[in-house]
Amino acid sequence: MKSWSMPEIPLVPGTGPVPMLHDTATGELRSASSHGVASLYVCGITPYDATHIGHAATYLAFDTLVRAWLDAGVGVEYVQNTTDVDDPLLERATATGVDWRELAASQTDLFRSDMTALGIRPPDHYVAVTDVITEISNAVETLVSHGTAYEVATDDSVDGNNDLYFDSARAAETGPWHLGLESGLDRDTMLALSRQRGGDPGRPGKRDPLDPLLWRAARVGEPAWESRVGRGRPGWHIECSVIAINRLASPITVQAGGSDLIFPHHEFSAGHASSITGEPFADIYAHAGMVAYQGEKMSKSLGNLVLVSQLTARGVDPRSIRLALLDHHYRTDWEWTADTLVSATARLERWTAWAAASTGSTEVDAAAPATAGSDAPDPVVDALRTAVADDLDTPAALAVVDAAIAAACPATAAAVTAIDALLGIRLR
Ligand code: 5CA
Ligand code: ZN
């Protein structure tokens, strides 16, 4: 599927360190790729109510990872999905009287334009679930052949077929994954989260209440596709497993998304993928914290949303939105308020004035090409690189620039380039 426009990311003189990243599965900071190449799968949007500030924060976090990799000379292959067929999307389409395909297409377009405005690097493969139904159903068939998928009696399917579920216990006996490997959660917490986040632990006939749906047999009034496992549509977690493992070598370097995906989504994406490939799914499972608004997690179901497109339509500079988000460490939960944007806008003004005020050979030269700059050590560049490579510590990176300005250090060409390359803030 069409991705979005590539922002220009300038080359900074020298090379940054390979970033260290927090891994949810082990709780440790781990080197995100030591082999000179890295692969990334970030869970994409379910295309309705896009793009809110929480979405933007999560995609910006992993954009920062991509920028850190590029600065370290690491080759990056990046895949993202869009969940363009799923219960919440179908429910919204029905509630608003819009065709679900049109809703998904228009919201995906809006997401693309928001990502472009924010200067977020597009994935190399942007994949809609509806474009890869055969890939997914073939993978479900593989799970059936491995004995890790089973039927659950289904009395309301139109073709008389049964739904297919993942056998968590059998997968753990036969492959490198076990329940809890990624999330580390106890069973009671898993059961509670499964209930809240689209699982069906109460459904009769399952071998384990936590086993997730792999393939939903066709129902009246629901979209369905012919496949080797019968007419139907994919469950949620299997889409991300398949889109990732069919495009990236296993294990992938980083599986990423917001912390609301730790369980059940990323746990079972890892389980399905491992049961198909026989390999661990990812080296690192990375999660961004949740952005709240008006006291609660910003979410489509609650409707407490601040949309990127509303802000830009009001004339807010996308760089201010970026700075507002970068001012929070990606792993912390935080709350968006009107003040967040006021201070980010003031910071952008200070930074642009600083960049514009500098003159001289080692300073900003507006006529110089984007890759300009000497190889001489530059303390601002070094400190920016160190901060970003340290588990994407963007608040520390912003503080580096603030301190340089407070100390009346001139804006060197290399520093301005590094701010553009690593933080995505173009000051000239
Ligand atoms: N389509 C699935 C993933 S396969 C999905 O979760 N879609 S979503 O539209 O609900 O969310 C898209 C991404 O934004 C996910 O990574 C999710 O974790 C993240 N996200 C959602 N709400 C917030 C929030 N309030 N703060 C930070 N990130 C969020
Ligand atoms: Zn996903």
pLDDT tens string 65-104: 999 999 999 999 999 999 999 999 999 999 999 999 999 9
Q: What angle do CA 75, 78, 84 make, to 5 degrees?
A: 175
Exposed, middle or buried, 160 (CB in 10 Å: 0-12/13-18/19+)?
Answer: exposed
- Kindly give the number of the ligand 1 atom that is closest to the alpha carbon of 42: 16
Angle separating helix axes 338-357 and 394-406, nearest 10 degrees: 50
Which amino acid does the sequence have at 47? Answer: P
> Closest residue (by CA) to atom 12 of ligand 1?
45
- Residue 388 structure tokens: 């970003």
% of the chain exceeding 90 in pLDDT: 93
Q: Is the pLDDT of residue 375 over 80?
A: no
Closest CA to 162 of 97, 232, 82, 217: 217
- Pocket flag, ligand 1, residue 275 (CB < 6 Å): no
Closest CA to 301 of 193, 198, 201, 190: 198
Helix boundaries (H) for 261-317: 267-277, 308-313
Mean pLDDT across the chain: 95
Exposed, middle or buried, 235 (CB in 10 Å: 0-12/13-18/19+)?
Answer: buried
Residues 263, 183 contacting (CB under 8 angstroms): yes
- Kindly give the number of the ligand 1 atom that is closest to the alpha carbon of 261: 18
Distance 251 CA to ligand 1 centre (A): 23
Report the pLDDT averaged over residues 117-134: 98
Q: What is the pLDDT of residues 222-246, one digit of tens each?
A: 999 999 999 999 999 999 999 999 9
Report the pLDDT value the prediction gives residue 35, as an integer from 0 to 100.
80
CA distances from 291 to 5, 100, 294, 399 (A): 26, 27, 10, 21
Tokens 């469950």 label which residue? 235
Report which bound ligand comes closest to the CA of 268. Answer: 2
Report the pLDDT value the prediction gives residue 32, as an integer from 0 to 100.
87
**Residue 284 CB partners (closer than 8 Å, separation 6+):** 21, 23, 25, 30, 32, 253, 254, 255
For the entire predicted model, the pTM comes to 0.96
- Pocket flag, ligand 1, residue 56 (CB < 6 Å): no
Q: How far apart are the first and last CA of the chain?
A: 33
- Pocket flag, ligand 1, residue 258 (CB < 6 Å): yes
> Closest residue (by CA) to atom 3 of ligand 1?
43
Distance 283 CA to ligand 2 centre (A): 17
Report the pLDDT value the prediction gives residue 85, as an integer from 0 to 100.
96
pLDDT class of 42 with cuts at 50, 70, 90? very high
Q: What is the pLDDT of residues 302-354, one digit of tens each?
A: 889 999 999 999 999 999 999 999 999 999 999 999 999 999 999 999 999 99
Report which bound ligand comes closest to the CA of 294. Answer: 1
- Pocket flag, ligand 1, residue 83 (CB < 6 Å): yes
Report the pLDDT value the prediction gives residue 380, as an integer from 0 to 100.
98
**Distance in angstroms (rounded) separating the CA atoms of residues 19 and 160:** 51
Distance 180 CA to ligand 2 centre (A): 17
Q: Which of 24, 45, 59 to mutate to test the pocket of ligand 1 (most atoms within 8 A of CB)?
A: 45
Q: Is the pLDDT of residue 363 over 50?
A: no
- Pocket flag, ligand 1, residue 55 (CB < 6 Å): yes
- Kindly give the number of the ligand 1 atom that is closest to the alpha carbon of 50: 9
Q: What is the pLDDT of residues 3-41, one digit of tens each?
A: 999 999 999 999 999 999 999 999 999 998 868 899 999
Q: Is the pLDDT of residue 370 over 50?
A: no
- Pocket flag, ligand 1, residue 288 (CB < 6 Å): yes
Q: Which of 41, 42, 43 to mutate to test the pocket of ligand 1 (most atoms within 8 A of CB)?
A: 43
Residues 262, 171 contacting (CB under 8 angstroms): no
Residues 126, 120 contacting (CB under 8 angstroms): no
SS3 of residue 32 by DSSP: coil
What strand order describes the sheet that includes 291-293?
Answer: 296-297, 291-293, 334-336
- Kindly give the number of the ligand 1 atom that is closest to the alpha carbon of 297: 25
Give the single-character DSSP code of 129.
G
Distance 173 CA to ligand 1 centre (A): 31
